Amino acid sequence: MGVVGPTASGKTALAIRLAWRFDGELVSADSRQVFVGCDVGTNKPQPAELGGIACHLIDVVEPGASITVADYRRLAIPAVEGIARAGRLPILQGGTGLYVRALLDGWNLADVPADWPLRRRLEARLAGEGRESLEAELRRIDPVAAAAAQRNPRRLVRALEIHALTGAVPSARRRAAPPPWRVLLLGLEVPLPVLDQRIERRVDRMLADGLLDEVRRLRARHPGLDLSGLGHGYREMGAVLDRGMTLDQARASTIRQVRQYARRQLTWFRRDPRVHWIAAEPQALALVERFQRSGADGGGEGLEGSG
């Protein structure tokens, strides 16, 4: 099963409670919690919070290292299957919709190796010609890939790289066999005004818990580290350390960006008809119990869908 939704909606807390109730283990679907040492800014679940519940796919790579969607899928599949073989319930939890879709829908993005000189040339074109020019080129080659890469320069460059290397339509290479899992996806429904308040409180808690010191430590261990790839707030804290931004300005910028990101997450997950939107934990418990009974009774995929 999975618990998805926007940041600050309470996904991690609910997933931990479900893991306690149904003898589960967590599998993170968060593209920032993979980085070692990025704890405060990514709201990574800590041992005291987990209370002995295992959480897989956090602390996977050092900050600055590359981890692709294909890398995530290669790591997540054996994690899920290992939990299931041990007789426990795998609980996917996180807000990176691309990770969730890649894992559950069987995307195959790993078979074309990176060509770094070609990628740098494409990135130089992106900087010189602008995103619109490369989007138009990809749209002529593959409208499906162009739609998926909209406003995402990294995916845009990767799609053009795949086409240049293989001559194939990039979107045709995305599918592999989906894993044979029964899946229940829960989405936490939180009114936007409430979500905005929670985001503001979360950013304040990040600052109180030492995000500035975390960035100082990361810079000391990784000189020249690009903070912008680590998550919201890291670049701003770097600017504070460099005296290019006050702490109040950094706080306001981080809150604004997290709110915008939460809305993009909502848009993504609302497009997935498998997500059951719930407002409270009792609904989650009832759905999971029904889901487990349907499997025991041979009910198959009966709970998949938006309900």
User: 214 vs 144, which has greater pLDDT?
Assistant: 214
Bridge partners of 90, per DSSP, are: 25
pLDDT at residue number 172: 67
Q: Is 13 exposed, middle or buried (0-12, 13-18, 19+ CB in 10 A)?
A: middle
pLDDT at residue number 299: 41
Q: Check the CA dihedral 172-177-179-182 and report its sign.
A: positive
Cα angle 186, 43, 245 (rounded to 5 degrees) comes to 130
pLDDT at residue number 83: 97
Q: The tokens of 258 are what?
A: 């997290």
Q: Stretch 165-181: mean pLDDT, rounded?
A: 72
Task: Tell me the CATH number for domain 116-173.
Answer: 1.10.20
Whether 247 shows a pLDDT value over 70: the answer reads: yes
- The residues of the chain that CATH labels 3.40.50.300 are 2-108+177-296
Q: Stretch 74-89: mean pLDDT, rounded?
A: 95
User: 268 vs 171, which has greater pLDDT?
Assistant: 268
Yes or no: say if 112 and 165 are a contact pair by the CB < 8 Å rule. yes
Measuring CA to CA, which residue among 57, 6, 2 is closest to residue 199?
6
Q: How far is CA 269 from CA 81, 140, 263, in A?
A: 24, 28, 10
pLDDT at residue number 306: 40
Q: Which residues lie closer than 8 Å to 237 by C-beta, 6 or more apart?
A: 41, 211, 212, 214, 215, 227, 250
With bands split at pLDDT 50, 70 and 90, how would you rate the model's confidence at 296? low
User: How far is the C-alpha of 107 from the C-alpha of 114, rounded, in Å?
Assistant: 17
pLDDT tens digits, one per residue of 136-171? 999 999 888 888 887 788 889 988 988 887 676 777
- The residues of the chain that CATH labels 1.10.20 are 116-173
User: 55 vs 109, which has greater pLDDT?
Assistant: 55
The class of domain 2-108+177-296 in CATH terms is alpha beta
Q: Stretch 117-131: mean pLDDT, rounded?
A: 90
pLDDT at residue number 269: 94
pLDDT at residue number 118: 87
Whether 208 shows a pLDDT value over 70: the answer reads: yes
pLDDT at residue number 116: 80
User: How far is the C-alpha of 141 from the C-alpha of 262, rounded, in Å?
Assistant: 31
Yes or no: say if 65 and 38 are a contact pair by the CB < 8 Å rule. no
In the chain, % of residues over pLDDT 90: 68
With bands split at pLDDT 50, 70 and 90, how would you rate the model's confidence at 221? very high
pLDDT tens digits, one per residue of 21-70? 999 999 999 999 999 999 999 999 999 999 999 999 999 999 988 787 77
Q: Which residues lie closer than 8 Å to 83 by C-beta, 6 or more apart?
A: 24, 25, 27, 54, 56, 89, 90
Whether 109 shows a pLDDT value over 70: the answer reads: no
User: How far is the C-alpha of 128 from the C-alpha of 150, rounded, in Å?
Assistant: 18
The pTM for the full model equals: 0.79
pLDDT at residue number 108: 64
Measuring CA to CA, which residue among 304, 276, 295, 267 is closest to residue 3?
276
User: 231 vs 166, which has greater pLDDT?
Assistant: 231
